[in-house]
Amino acid sequence: MSKKINHIQILIVLLSVLMTTLGCADKVRIRNSAGEEHGLLVDGQSNSGHVNDRDRVSTSITIDVGKLRASSSTNEIIAFTKSRPVAIRDNVNWTTHRDIEEIAFSDKIYIPVTVWIVKGPYTDKLLKAGNAAVYTIGIFDAENVGIGFSEFEIINKTSMTDASTYYNFAPTADPDDWKNNVGWKDDRINIYYLETVSGSSTTGRAVGFSNFIVLGENFGDIAVVHEIGHSFSARHKSSPDFNKKCIMWPFYNTSDPFLYFSEGELFRMHVNSTSALNSVYNARPGLITRSCVGNVSSDQCVDWRKRLWDDGVLLAN
Amino acid sequence: MRFSIFFIMIVCGFFLCRTEIIAQPLNSDIRAQLLDYLTGSCEEGEEDSFVEFVQKNEQAVTPVIIKFVQDGVPKDFIKNLEATTLRLYADRQKLLNEKSNFGLSEENLEILKKESQEAFTKRMTKDFRDGFMKQTIFGLSLLRSKDAQDLLNKISTDKNHPYQRSAENALILLKKQ
Ligand SMILES: [Zn+2]
């Protein structure tokens, strides 16, 4: 009789040990969700070693992320969702127990942009710039960028004195000449509609990845989002992991427009300290910034090719 | 006798075909790259600029550029563009009616909303064609062949040519360098 009880007791103990080690995974609870699908990248320590960017996609606000404990490297949660900026929380206190850690999305960021139309006809360029604003917002919303325009100001400088002096932006041109003579607003991205950039009417350039953008007169409306991406520190992507539908592809074609940002790029656009979002707009005060410029990947920097959702034929990876 | 001529013709044909097949990938690759630069690009510093690309591949791109200048934008591009602009217009009008966070002034929003599909398609197609042709003429100005230079000079003095100003500009830019 007592032997039988002992067997049952041992079985119960074994089962509970098994349940705590296998069954009770840690969870991440999303706060301030807009009720859309969420994507997570989680760092911590698992039984098999350090976990970097374990990915999860779910419509639930409580998401199972597997069993994690504190890692001597990074312990963090990065989250993506529609209409909200990328959220990042570091120093997450993963324990050996069942953790429920929270992450909160900030409100959508609204930024002002000013367009300076230097070469006319003004009405044509107004339509081009307006079209670019709408297309950019369409992409931002579809691609979980979490940014909107508080103002998309369009200024007519076509009749300024010597306007034609500023029509052509040569490879060695000095942005200060445009800033001082055409106009410039320090606190935002400035886009200049010119005639040519480096001799070409279809070329655009965000000089030095800054908030100074120049466009040739036939620059595609669908590609202005690419230049704004540069202002947010994004670099060109032309490896086999990307294709011409990717916004940071170096070439655009209006007959086959851009559509996608990878999550690796979104992460950089938000957290890089050189991104205009931080350096010009200070739109994420008190939030984590990093230096993940270019194609570096580490525990601190999400792989630049990382995709939580499929981007057309490019599958989640 | 007749048979041996026939045989020689087949052998020659075979080798001509082979040369064509071997030569084609390289040329079609350069042509595809050239088309990328002609439809539009961004200068960031990592890739070759258009000028560098044309100079590096001058021999291969010369006949292609001359042909584009003479024939205009490839037909399939325009066909794709027409289909795309219809979609872009529908998307834009839907966004304009559903959302209000574009930061545009009321006046500018109204201007966009009022643009008809026909006007939009016409404007987008012209923008694309102009961009492509101006870039092609800019490419032409970078070529050293006599045919290319003659063609550029001819366009720059032809006041009726739709891209006369582009040719003239390209020549001015060249003189400055
Ligand atoms: Zn670029």
A vs B, Cβ pairs < 8 A, gives 164
pLDDT for B23 equals 41
Tell me, what's the pLDDT at B170? 87
Question: What gap in Å lies between CA A165 and CA B164, rounded to an integer?
Answer: 20
Q: What ipTM did this prediction achieve?
A: 0.86
Are the Cβ atoms of B103 and A203 closer than 8 angstroms? no
Q: How far is the CA of A110 from the centre of ligand 1 (A)?
A: 23
Portions of chain A given CATH number 3.40.390: 109-317
Minimal-distance CA residue of chain A relative to B93: A134
Domain residues for the domain of B23 are 2-145
- Sign of the alpha-carbon dihedral angle for B93, B75, A223, A316: positive
| Minimal CA separation from B71 to chain A, in Å | 19
- Residues A302/A292, Cβ–Cβ less than 8 Å: yes
Nearest chain A CA: its distance from B34 CA (Å): 11
Q: What is residue A13's predicted lDDT score, i.e. its pLDDT?
A: 64
Which tokens is A1 given? 């009789």
Of the two residues B19 and A229, the one the predictor is more confident about is: A229
10-residue mean pLDDT profile of chain A (317 residues): values are 64 58 80 87 96 96 96 96 95 96 96 98 97 96 96 98 95 97 98 96 96 98 98 92 96 94 97 98 97 88 96 96
Find chain A residues with C-beta within 8 A of B115's C-beta.
Answer: 127
| CATH number, domain A109-317 | 3.40.390
Name which of B46, B91, B96 is nearest A236 (Cβ-Cβ).
Answer: B46
Distance of alpha carbon A92 from alpha carbon A236, whole angstroms: 32
Report the pLDDT value the prediction gives residue A4, as an integer from 0 to 100. 59
What total of structural domains would you count in chain B?
A: 1
Instruction: List, in sequence order, the alpha helices (H) in chain A.
Output: 2-18, 122-142, 175-181, 224-231, 263-271, 276-279
B111 falls within a domain: yes
Please, what CATH class does the domain formed by A2-104 belong to? mainly beta
Task: State yes or no: pLDDT of B26 exceeds 60.
Answer: no
Residue B153, in any domain of the structure: no
Question: B101, A137: Cβ pair inside 8 Å?
Answer: yes
Residue B157 lies in a domain: no
pLDDT, average across residues B163-171: 91
Report whether pLDDT(B24) > 50: no
CB within 8 Å of A311: residues ≥ 6 apart: A245, A246, A259, A260, A262
The two tokens of residue A154 are 């369009």
| Best of B31, B44, B77, B108 to mutate (most A CBs within 10 Å, chain A) | B44
pLDDT at residue A239, rounded to an integer: 79
Give A237's contacts in chain B (Cβ within 8 Å): none
End-to-end alpha carbon distance in chain B: 63
Question: Rounded to the nearest whole angstrom, what is the distance from the C-alpha of residue A168 to the centroid of ligand 1?
Answer: 18
Question: CATH 2.60.40 occupies which residues in chain A?
Answer: 2-104
| Burial call A154-179: b when 16+ CB within 10 Å, e when fewer | beebeeeeebeebebbeeebebeebb
- Per-residue pLDDT at B20 exceeds 50: no
Smallest Cα distance from A253 to chain B, Å: 5
Ligand 1 center from residue A188 Cα (angstroms): 19
Task: Kindly state whether residue B112 falls inside one of the protein's structural domains.
Answer: yes
Q: Decide if pLDDT at B12 tops 90.
A: no
Q: Best of A251, A256, A281, A295 to disrupt the B interface by mutation (most B CBs within 10 Å)?
A: A251
Helix axis angle, B75-98 to B106-114, nearest 10° = 130
